[in-house]
Amino acid sequence: MTEDSRSRELAAALAATRKRIAAAEAAAGRAPGSARLMIVTKFFPAEDLARLVLLGAGEFGENREPEAGRKVAQVRTELPGADFTMDMIGSVQRKKARTIARWARRVQSVDSVELTEALATAATKALDDGHRTTPLGVLLQISLDGDPARGGVVAEQLPALAEQVRSHDGALSLDGLMVIAPLHGQAAEHLAHAQRIADDFRRDHPEAVELSSGMSGDLETAVEFGSTCVRVGTAIMGPRPLVSP
Ligand SMILES: *Cc1c(COP(=O)(O)O)cnc(C)c1O
């Protein structure tokens, strides 16, 4: 595949995905743009991230460090001044908090007191060192089925974790919640449940406006149930290669 044909392929997939989101917003009676697209570039090279930035995409997610940090650095070097953000959406080892705090707009997968402390320390340092200029955004990851393997905390644990994040005002900002729908059962039931949890949560934390939910396969359902950020990989990038580049 030539360079140009990959860009054309990404442009077509990006347009088709934007159309799906717009149709879902309209069907749900939601304002255009109220569900934003985050493109998940994991397992694809920095060149694809650069192509998408040049095509006008602005919000990205990655799930592994140091691969994520390397890609961001490469694109920032190749396209100086390019306007894009990268969120961390995968589970985070505490020892990687320091580098993640340098490039991530937000960490969407915060699910423990220990990780919150590590991110607060890391964000404070990144601010002091000039690696970032704004607090590190935090989304608390909800677990709908309590399965520890998939990460997240059950709804009962959210208030304490939220207080903890807010105690680091200045270093961290509590932006909302993230959910990965369990594979078993109906996506609509899971996503409706997540929306109820988010509605409750916002009563205590009105600033926490984000609900990151929905992926390539279920984004319409997620938009129906209040998603503000759909995380789309396969539908734009194509099937993931077996080996990370
Ligand atoms: C990979 C990934 C996605 C994207 O999934 P697709 O089905 O490829 O769209 C979304 N969210 C998280 C947390 C992921 O790891």
| Per-residue pLDDT tens digits for 87-98 | 999 999 999 999
Provide the token pair at 61: 């997610």
Q: Distance between CA 139 and CA 68 in Å, rounded?
A: 18
pLDDT beyond 90 at 234? yes
Please report the atom of ligand 1 found closest to the CA of residue 180: 13
pLDDT at 146: 86
Whole-structure pTM value? 0.96
pLDDT, tens digit (0-9, with 9 covering 90-100), for 143-197: 999 887 889 999 999 999 999 999 999 999 999 999 999 988 899 999 999 999 9
Torsion of Cα atoms, 158 then 207 then 21 then 92, to 10°: -50
Please report the atom of ligand 1 found closest to the CA of residue 240: 8
- Average pLDDT score, the chain: 96
Please report the atom of ligand 1 found closest to the CA of residue 215: 9
Q: Is the four-CA dihedral 70, 76, 79, 82 of positive or negative sign?
A: positive
In the structure, what pLDDT confidence band is assigned to residue 244 with cuts at 50, 70 and 90?
A: low
| SS3 (DSSP) at 219 | helix
pLDDT at 174: 98
* Residues 6 or more apart whose Cβ sits within 8 Å of residue 98: 122, 125, 126
CA 213 / ligand 1 centre spacing (Å): 10
Pocket test for ligand 1, best of 40, 48, 87, 150 (most atoms within 8 A of CB): 40
Mean pLDDT for 49-63 is: 98
* Greatest Cα pair distance in the chain: 52
User: Which protein residues touch ligand 1 with a CB less than 6 Å away?
Assistant: 40, 42, 63, 89-90, 180, 215-217, 231-235
Mean pLDDT for 24-33 is: 98
- Which strand (E) or helix (H) includes residue 236? helix 234-237
In the structure, what pLDDT confidence band is assigned to residue 4 with cuts at 50, 70 and 90?
A: confident
Nearest by Cα to 66 from 83, 48, 90: 90
Q: Of the given ranges (133-142, 176-185, 236-245), which has the lowest mean pLDDT?
A: 236-245
Q: Distance between CA 129 and CA 102 in Å, rounded?
A: 9
pLDDT at 240: 84
Q: Are the beta carbons of 25 and 34 closer than 8 angstroms?
A: yes
Q: Token match 């129906």: residue? A: 224
Q: Token match 């955004």: residue? A: 137
- Which strand (E) or helix (H) includes residue 87? strand 85-88
pLDDT at 147: 84
Mean pLDDT for 35-61 is: 97
Q: Are the beta carbons of 22 and 33 closer than 8 angstroms?
A: no
Pocket test for ligand 1, best of 86, 89, 142, 210 (most atoms within 8 A of CB): 89
Pocket test for ligand 1, best of 231, 232, 236, 244 (most atoms within 8 A of CB): 231
CA 128 / ligand 1 centre spacing (Å): 32
Please report the atom of ligand 1 found closest to the CA of residue 178: 13
Provide the token pair at 188: 């609509």
Nearest by Cα to 63 from 84, 36, 86, 95: 86
Nearest by Cα to 71 from 95, 39, 93: 39
pLDDT, tens digit (0-9, with 9 covering 90-100), for 80-122: 999 999 999 999 999 999 999 999 999 999 999 999 999 999 9
* Residues 6 or more apart whose Cβ sits within 8 Å of residue 49: 41, 60, 71, 72, 75, 84
Q: Distance between CA 83 and CA 60 in Å, rounded?
A: 11
CA 120 / ligand 1 centre spacing (Å): 26
DSSP 115: H
User: How many Cβ atoms are within 10 Å of 114's Cβ, its own excluded?
Assistant: 10
pLDDT beyond 80 at 57? yes
Q: Are the beta carbons of 238 and 48 closer than 8 angstroms?
A: no
Provide the token pair at 144: 């709908």
